[in-house]
Structures are given as C-alpha cells and as structure tokens.
Structure 1
Amino acid sequence: MQLKNILFTSLLVSALTYSAKAQFVGDALTFSQENNGGTARFKGLGNAKTALGGDISSITGNPAGLGFFRQSDISVTANYLNANNKGTYFGTNTTKNKGRVGIENAGVVFYFPTNEGYHGWQNFNVGISYENTNTFTNNVRYEGVNPNNTIVQRYSDLMENPQNGAWGDKLFKTVLVEESLDPKNGYFPVVGEAVNKNQVSDILTTGYNSRTALAFGANYNNKLYIGGNIGFTAFRYDTSQQFSEGGWTKNRAEILAKNPNSTIADPTHDDYKYVEANYELLDDYSQRTEGSGIDFKIGAIYKPTTDWNIGATITSPTWLTVDDYTSSYIRVDYYDKETDAKPFITKEVLTDPTEDSYRLITPWKFSVGLSKFFSRGLLSADVEYVDYSTNKLRTIGGSNRSREKAWDQDMKDSYKAVVNVRVGGEILLTNTVSARAGFNYFGNPYKNADNKQYSGSLGLGFKLSQNVYMDLAVVHLVNDYKVSPYAIDENHWKSQSPVADIKHQRTNAVLTLGAKF
C-alpha cells in the first residue's frame, strides 16, 4: 500500500525540525473542527438547526433563531461520552474504551417584546451560553507482530537529514543504528528488519474545545428573523503517544554485510554484546496545547409561508492564539535472553522540551438550511461548506514569513474543502411527548487519506409542566480511517510502511433540563 490514503501519528519526530511543522499543521485541523454541541433537542434532530429556532442551541447555531422565543428560557445540558476504538494491525484486533461525564451546554435567553402590535418588529431577544464544541477524550491502541520493518528504519532515514544532526548523535549512542561505509546505504538498523517484531501503539488524548457566546435575535413581522453572535473560544489538548517495539538485533554476519569495519561486530570490542541481543524500545511523546480566541456569526431565517423556513449562516474564522509544549524521549533496554527480568544495559535519547506560540486562523463556514412543518411534526436539513485548506498558521508578530508561507502550502497540500450534511425530524407523539431522529454526514477533509465519518441520533422530548421541559438524546458517531505509526523511505528499504485500520465509535448520551419564565 502506498503512503496515499494513510494518516500518520507524530511520535518522537515532533522534537525534530522536520516534524514540528507537520505537528502544527495537523493540530490546525484538530482545533478547527467542531462536533456541533448543543441541547438534547437539537442533537436528537441531528443538529439540523440552520432553519430552526426557539432553542438555546440557536445562540451558537443560527442566532436568528432567538427571534422565535416568545418568553425567556434557561436550560442546562449534561452528557456522558464513551469513545470506543478497534484497531487492527497485522491481523491482531485491539479494543480500547474511554469515557467522561460533563456539561455539554448551558444558556439563557431573555425575551424583550416591542410595542409595535401586529406589524413591524415583534421582539428583540438576547442570549448567552456556554457550549462544549469538541471533546478530545479518546484512547486509540493497536498492536501486532510486524514481520516487514522496524521503526529504527525511520530513525535511520531521519539521521540522513543534516538538520537532525544533534539528535542523530544521541541516537547513534543507543547502538540502534550503525553507519555503513557505502554512502548509498547510509545509516542502517542494528536491529532485525524483515523479522518478527512485537509492536504496540497507544495514543491517549484528553481535553476540550468550548465556546462562550453572546447573541441577539430579532423577529420582523413573524416573517424575517435575523441575528448575530460573538463567541469566545478556549481549548486545551493533551496527548500522550507511546510506541513500543520488541525483537532481536542482527547477527554478526548481517552487520558485517553492511559495515565490514563495524565495532559492534568485533568480538574483541565491548559493543559486541549488542549482537543477537533481545531489545525493548519505547518511543514516548507528550504534548499540551492551549489556546483562546474570538469569532462571530450572522444568520437569517425567512418564512415564505407558515409551514416553511429557509435559513442561512455565515461564521467567521476563529482567531486563536496558541501555546504549545512538547517533550519526547527514546529508551532501549537490552537483554541477553528474552526471559531475563532485568536488562544488562539501558540506553536513552533525551530531547529538550519545546515551547512554541503561534496564531491559528480557522476557515470561514457557510451554512444553508430548510425546514418543513406539518400538523404534528417537522423535517429539517442543513448543508455546510468549509474549506480546511484555508486554515492559516501565523508566527507571533509575523516574524517569520518564510515559515508562514511553508505552513500555507502544507495546508493546501494536506486538506481540502468539504460539504457536511445534517438531516433530522421530529414528531409529536402526544401533547407532551415528542420523538426525534437525525443523521449527519461529514466530508473528508484530507487530500491524501481516507476518512469516513457519519453519525445517527435518536431523541425524546417531554413537557413536564406548562413551563418545564426535559429532552433526551443519544448520538452514535462512526469514523473509519487508516493510520501508520511511522513512515519509512519505501523505495530505499523496499518495504511498505506499516498500516493499522481504526474504527472509532463515539456514543454521546445527552440530557437537557429547561424552564421558561
């Protein structure tokens, strides 16, 4: 399989010049995507809310929907999120689960009627809300026996880059890599390549992306509804990525074939103990990224007839300031025998922690929606357009234009525009109970990787009294993609980079309690 259609994780190499740029480009997509948080009612409807109003979610959805309120409203939405991942790697299946409980949404709308009677402006309403727009809680793990190559081949490739010289000098001392006398061969692994190796990748992420928004909405003649909001975004993203590999180093003849003068293959040299030794390698990388920013949105809903709504929104970029902290290291334990409890020696490559600050400007978003009302129900649909290739990374103060141009090009090379589709429906079962269902399709933002993502939702609404209501919803998301823990120079090594198939499933159970006043 070629590199096309595969995503790559960012182990160890984040500490290198090569990969710091790729890390920021990858993070730009992570922090610009949203999972459409909101109340249980709109989640049950598949979040098809561009042409709907009268819900707290309108504050961050289509603020024109605030014009539909005929009295003040307050609500709180809690959720339980469970992330389940199945990783398949060289025929081995591994499953991991990660769950959390939190507040999905909380908001209040204040209703201000006018005195213009049956014509003109009917009301001006103001709302404020907190919304969890994305949750990074996840644990992706895959493991298996790789008979084709080793991560040390990736290290050997990196050592060929002069920019990684200082790191390469440290890695050379671990005895994982040897230098060939033939320039065509360059650096080569001391560990076995086309032999069985146990490999495990374990990626744990936590954090959130939230928005606090202040919005207004107005109703003109019960025909045209307009609104706008200003949002204040904050996020924190923590990831711990560990890749481990266990196997055997090469025998003397295999090492001499690459370097006849190798001290490792010299029986009189102390390094000879590394020949045909059992090894366990751990590549550990951690990252914390924090940021805050501001954006705005304008929206409108028009009723050509009493049973139809047409809605549209324009969402500005979010202008974010981001602080990024990373650390990484490699540890190798060498054993005489696989059954030994303690290694005869441990080698480490320590890298200095990195700190970086930059600005991220996310894409514009455009959405249109249509809703049809019936005597005891409704149908609603949205289409959203987002061009992720227009994500922009900027140095603080614009101090490095060449770096910014390289980032812009990487965005264009990596990402593309998508169309997201949301549909939902609601039916009134009784005068106090409603049932809802919805479906979402998310376009693939990657130019060179397969990424299938969709979700379905079910919900119920209960009118507990004249002014108190409760809504429930369950949303199940499925995301299928391929990922590789490392990429090697396939032409040089005559081997393909390893690939894992990941099936990510996320179930979100949501409860909203609200009251009108």
Structure 2
Amino acid sequence: MKKIIIVSALVLLWTAGANAQTAYDAAKLVSKDLNGTARFVGMGGAMGALGGDISTMGTNPAGIGIYRSNDVMTSFSFSTYGTESKYGGKTFDNNNNRWSYDNIGIVFASKIGNHTPLRYVNFGFNYHRAKSFYKNMFMEGALNYSQIDYMTGQANGMLANGVSLKELSDNKLNPYSDNGVGWLGALGWDGLLFDFKNGEYIGVLPQTPYSTFRSREKGGIDQYDFNIAFNISDRVYLGLTIGAYDVDYTKSYYYSEDYGDKQNYNIGSMNRISGSGFDFKMGAIIRPFEDSPFRIGLAVHTPTFYRLTYTTSAYLESNIWMHNNDTG
C-alpha cells in the first residue's frame, strides 16, 4: 500500500488524510538530534547570539555574518544506543555502536569595505544529519494469550460492521483493497489461523504459545542549508537560510508464535517513510553597544513542509492448518 501525504511539522498530528500509523510515524520527523561542529554540540547548540560557527546557519542564520574569512568544517560522531525490554522476569538488552558522518560545511566571506555601511556579504552551505532512527528491540517468552485471539476479535468486529472475510474469500475478492478490512485479521484468515463456525470467527488453538518479537528502525533525515548573511557596520548581522530535507525512515517488525509439535506461525511488516521537505530561517544579531561584546540574537523559523511517501507491506507464514478453506 502506498499513500502520498503532505504534512507540515507544525501541525503534523492534525494532518488530514493520514491514518493513525502514518501520523504516529510522521511525528518522529518533528524533533532533531543535536549534531554539528564539536563547538556547537559542546555548547548544547546555544549559540543563537554568539554566531561565528557554521552550524549556526541552521539555528540563527545571522551567525554566518560574523565571519571575516573563509572556513571549511567537517565532523564525525560515535554513538551508543540501545533498548531494554522486560517480560516474565526476563530482561532483554540490545545495544549497538555506530560511527556516523554528521557534518560538513563551508563559508565564503566576501568583504565589501572597511568604511561602508555594508562590510561583508557571506555565503554558506552546510550538511548535517538532523535525525537518526537506528534502534533495535528483541523480546521473547511464554504469553498467556495469543495474537490469534486479536485476529479473531478484529474479524468479528468487521463482521458486526457488515464486512465478512468469509464472503470476500468466497467471492475471490482482494480484502486488502477494502478500507473496512483490518490487515491483521485478513492475514490471519488467509493464513488459516482461525475458523468460521456458528456465525462467528473462532480460534482453535487453546495452548499458550511461546512468542518472539523483534523490531528494527533505521534511516534518518539529512538536512542541507544554503545561507546568505550580511555584516552591517560590525553592529548588525542579518541572515537567511533555505533548508532542504531528505527523509528515509524504515521500521520493520517480526513476530512469531510457537505452539509445539511443529505448530507455529510468524508475521512481519515493513513500514517506510521517504520524501523531501523545505523550510526558511531568518535571523538577526545586534550588538547595541559599540565597545561591548554584548549581543542580542533573534531568529524566526517557518514550519518544515514535507512531501512524504508512506509505504507499508506485511506477510504471514503459517505451519498451522485449519479448515476455513473448507467451511469458508
């Protein structure tokens, strides 16, 4: 299934036309990681009034107006990330280390004059990794319920609303093209994991399964900033940055239930968000007192406007055989 949506980072959670899963995943795009030059990261990004650092073109574009000479910068980072999950008295840790190339930028300083009101016109470009999504999770144990119970509950809920998986399969119709069909219930029915008897869907595996769950997230948001900044009388600095964004985020799931005696099934899904976006940033730095280093920084950012493609797919493999191919 593929859906094209247009969202704004400012009103992401209220975007019309996006289903619940899309809105939840797209909300990940709003926040940003603290990446940039070592100086910028070391100061926690609090350089809005200081300027003079390539990374500031993404926070206060006027900071590039401080430059009086050309500059080139690049930086790397080493990250440790992990998850911890607990179930049935067991703790499952999944820790990973990762090197990443976070930042490269350049500034061209163009001097206009020493005594003219406009002293410098500077141009800058900066790439940095705005967001990383790398995370893995693993958990397993004996559950006191089965996902098949949820599948049958979903199928019966659809039946109450006039949507019958049995009739769809009898008529050889594709259930996945019907917006009234829940995918999990449809996959369970196609995988012969539950039956239809006496006017309702029922599961026929009373045993408690041993379940395994894995998930993996990867990808990120790359940000490209293009900047122009002005130095006016060494007292007022103005800047404008146009930001371009490239989004590539993938999350995959794997879940299995083992009932023993070679009775088992597994289900997996993959969700991907890809696309691009843009925003504008305007800023000013003012030095109100000529003989003082005191500065005031101001910046205004527009929302980030994204055009995204949301793609999802799922599969189910089963070694459990039921009779819905005979009764339904």
TM-score of the superposition, structure 1-length normalised?
0.50
Instruction: Give, as a single letter, the amino acid of the residue that structure 2 aligns with 1:25.
Output: A
Determine the structure 2 residue equivalent to 1:223.
Answer: 235
Alignment of 1:406-445 (within 5 A): none
1:205-249 deviation digits (Å, cap 9, x = unpaired): 22121111110122233332221111111121222211122236x
Q: Cα offset for 1:328?
A: 0.6
**Alignment correspondent of 1:158:** 154
> Which residue number in structure 2 is paired with residue 131 of structure 1?
128
Pick aligned residue for 2:204 from 176, 179, 190: 190
Q: Which amino acid aligns with 1:191?
A: L
The separation in 2 between residues aligned to 1:146 and 1:34, in whole angstroms, is: 37
Is it true that 1:178 corresponds to 2:190 in the alignment? no
> Does 2:295 correspond to 1:298?
no
Counting aligned pairs with the same residue, the percent is 27
* 2:247 equivalent to 1:247: no
| Residue aligning to 1:142 | 139
Quick one: structure 1 residues 281 and 313, their matched pair in 2 at CA, closer, same or farther if it must change by over 3 Å? farther
Asked if the contact 1:177/1:187 (under 8 Å) is kept, the reply is yes
Alignment equivalent of 1:288, drawn from 272, 286, 295 = 272
Equivalent residues of 2:84, 2:93 under 8 A apart: yes
Matches of 1:187 and 1:81 in 2, distance apart?
48
Distance in structure 1 (CA, Å) of the matches to 2:309 and 2:288? 48
**Residues 245-324 of structure 1: matches in 2 within 5 Å?**
245-247=257-259, 279-305=263-289, 306-324=292-310
> Measured at CA, do residues 130 and 173 of structure 1 come closer, stay the same or move farther in structure 2, by a change above 3 Å?
closer
Please name the residue that 1:23 is paired with.
Answer: 21
Q: 1:76 to 1:320 in 2, by over 3 A?
A: same
Check conservation: 1:64, 1:226, Cα contact below 8 A: yes
1:351-379 Cα offsets, whole Å, 9 max, x none, are xxxxxxxxxxxxxxxxxxxxxxxxxxxxx
**8 Å Cα contact 1:175/1:190 also seen in 2:** no
The count of aligned residue pairs is 283
Unaligned runs of 5+ in 2: 1-17, 164-179, 324-328
* Residue identity opposite 2:205 in structure 1: V
Letter in 2 for 1:114: I
In 2: Cα distance, 1:131 partner to 1:188 partner: 53
Counterpart contact for 2:193–2:322, Cα < 8 Å = no
| Compared CA separation, residues 65 and 170, structure 1 to 2 (3 A) | closer
Q: Give the conservation status (yes or no) of the 8 Å contact 2:149–2:203.
A: yes
Q: Does 1:115 align with 2:127?
A: no
Distance change (3 Å), C-alpha of 1:176 and 1:43: same
1:48-97 Cα distance to aligned partner (Å, 9 max, x none): 23222111101222111011112111011122233211112233211112
Contact 2:237 2:286 in 1 (8 A): yes
Q: Work out whether residues 93 and 143 of structure 1, in 8 Å CA contact, stay in contact via their aligned partners in 2.
A: no
Instruction: Report the Cα offset of residue 307 of structure 1.
Output: 4.2
Judging changes above 3 Å, is the alpha-carbon distance between structure 1 residues 170 and 242 closer, same or farther for their aligned structure 2 residues?
closer
Q: How far is 1:326 from its partner?
A: 2.2
Distance 1:233 1:205 in 2: 19
Cα distance in 2, alignment partners of residues 278 and 42 from structure 1: 57
Tell me the equivalent position of 1:82: 80
Name the residue aligned to 1:412.
none
Q: Give the deviation of 1:109 after TM superposition.
A: 0.6
Task: Decide whether aligned partners of structure 1 residues 197 and 110 sit closer, same or farther in structure 2, where only a CA change above 3 A counts.
Answer: same
Distance 1:125 1:109 in 2: 7
Give 3-state SS (helix, strand or coil) of 2:287's partner.
Answer: strand
- Identify if the C-alpha distance between structure 1 residues 171 and 53 changes in structure 2 by more than 3 Å, giving closer, same or farther: same
SS at match of 1:57: helix
Distance 1:29 1:304, change over 3 A: same
TM-score, normalised relative to structure 2:
0.77
Report how far residue 129 of structure 1 moved: 1.2
The CA distance in 1 between the partners of 2:112 and 2:232, in whole Å, is: 11
The answer to whether the 8 Å contact 2:143/2:208 transfers is: yes
What is the alpha-carbon distance in structure 2 between the residues aligned to residue 170 and residue 24 of structure 1?
20
Q: Identify the residue that residue 250 of structure 2 maps to in structure 1.
A: 238
**Conserved? CA contact 1:94–1:142, under 8 Å:** yes
Q: Distance in 1 between matches of 2:245 and 2:223?
A: 4
For residues 182 and 140 of structure 2, what CA distance do their matches in structure 1 show?
Answer: 31
- Cα deviation for residue 126 of structure 1 reads 1.0
Q: How does 1:355-504 map to 2 (within 5 A)?
A: none
Letter in 1 for 2:219: G
CA 1:151–1:310: 2 relative to 1, 3 Å: farther
- Residue 100 of structure 1 aligns with an amino acid whose one-letter code is R
What are the Cα deviations for residues 177-211 of structure 1, in whole angstroms up to 9, with x where unaligned? 23453x7xx4343233xx64322221112212111
Distance 1:85 1:165 in 2: 30
**Aligned pair in 2 of structure 1 residues 300, 279: CA closer, same or farther (>3 Å)?**
farther
Aligned mates of 2:133, 2:182 — CA distance in 1: 35
